Structure formats: C-alpha cells, structure tokens
Amino acid sequence: MKKAVPTLPALAGWEDAILASIGGATGTIEERDAQVQRSGIYAEYPAILACYLDRLVSEADHTEALKRAVFLVWWSAIEPPPLSGISELPERYARETMQTLESVALCGELDDEFRAMLAWYHSILAAPFDLFGAERYVPEAIRGLTRDAWRSQFHTSQFQQRGQLGRYWRSVLTTSGR
C-alpha cells in the first residue's frame, strides 16, 4: 500500500506550527537550542524534507516541492537551529535534493522565480550547492543574474502558505520595502 504524502498546503502548515513552537523558546541561543532540542522539534524537519522529496513525483507539485526542499537544505546551513527549527538534515536527503536540482537545471527547466531565488541563495552561501552536488549546472543556469534579480518580480502575496521559504521571502521583501 502506498503511503499518503501530505499536500503542499499541509506541509506549509506543519512548518508554520514548528515555527510557532520554537518562537516560545527564550534565553540565550544556547538556552533556546536546549529547549528546542528537549521539545523534539528538531526531529520534524528531516520528515518534512522527506515529504517534499516524495512530492517530487507529482508533476503538479514537482517545482514547488523542489523549491521548498532546496530552500530547507540551504537555510539549514545559514540559520541557527533554534531559530529555524532545523538541526541536522540527513545527508542523503540533502544530496537527493541538490542532485534533483542539478538535473532540473541541466534540462533547462528552472522557472524565473526559481532562478532568481537560486541567484540570491548562491550569492549568500554557495557551499550547500557545492557540497551536495549542485555545483555544475545550477551556477550555469543562474549566470548573468544578480543577487537582486528577484526585486523586479517578487511580491509578498506570492509567498503565502509556502512554509519557511515563504516566510523567508516575505521577510526579505518587507525588509527591502516591497
């Protein structure tokens, strides 16, 4: 029997619930880390990433699921765990995410939104792409885009109900006055 994979809206809700839970942690970053660790929340994101990877088989969800999975792998390298809720992702999931991204880039199937996101992520920290196997075709796919390529096309409304990816981009847009 095939397991039921949560829908993209359900996954976004799951991510929102995690962020609400970690928002209750207080104190120093170390104290917050200990609180989140004790709560068991760090075990959630490997399962969420696995669900996004499972959604890659759906033609309708493929691009959005990959955008969110790539964001989570990248974000886990950027944001401290007690602030993101992401402690450590399984290497095989991170590698599968980035290798899928590399395949999509090779086929020229990255939409404009995804390319702009990748240009931004890559300009901030390229290491997750390089480390997990998206070091050849992804840089080629974003060549010529500046880190601010998103400015002309992103609006806060397009990032509703998109999990941490949406929350991150709404924050970037709000900070930039968009």
pTM, 2 dp: 0.95
How many domains is the chain partitioned into structurally? 1
Q: Is 2 inside any structural domain?
A: no
List the chain pLDDT tens, one digit each, 178 residues. 557 889 999 999 999 999 999 999 999 999 999 999 999 999 999 999 999 999 998 888 999 999 999 999 999 999 999 999 999 999 999 999 999 999 999 999 999 999 999 999 999 999 999 999 999 999 999 999 988 889 888 999 999 999 999 999 999 999 887 6
Q: Which domain holds residue 58?
A: 8-175
- Whether residue 32 lies inside any domain: the answer is yes
Cα angle 70, 20, 57 (rounded to 5 degrees) comes to: 30
Q: Say if 36 falls within a structural domain.
A: yes
Place of tokens 């200990």: 34
Identify whether 113 is part of a domain.
yes
Does residue 106 lie within any of the structural domains? yes
- Asked if residue 3 belongs to a domain, the reply is no
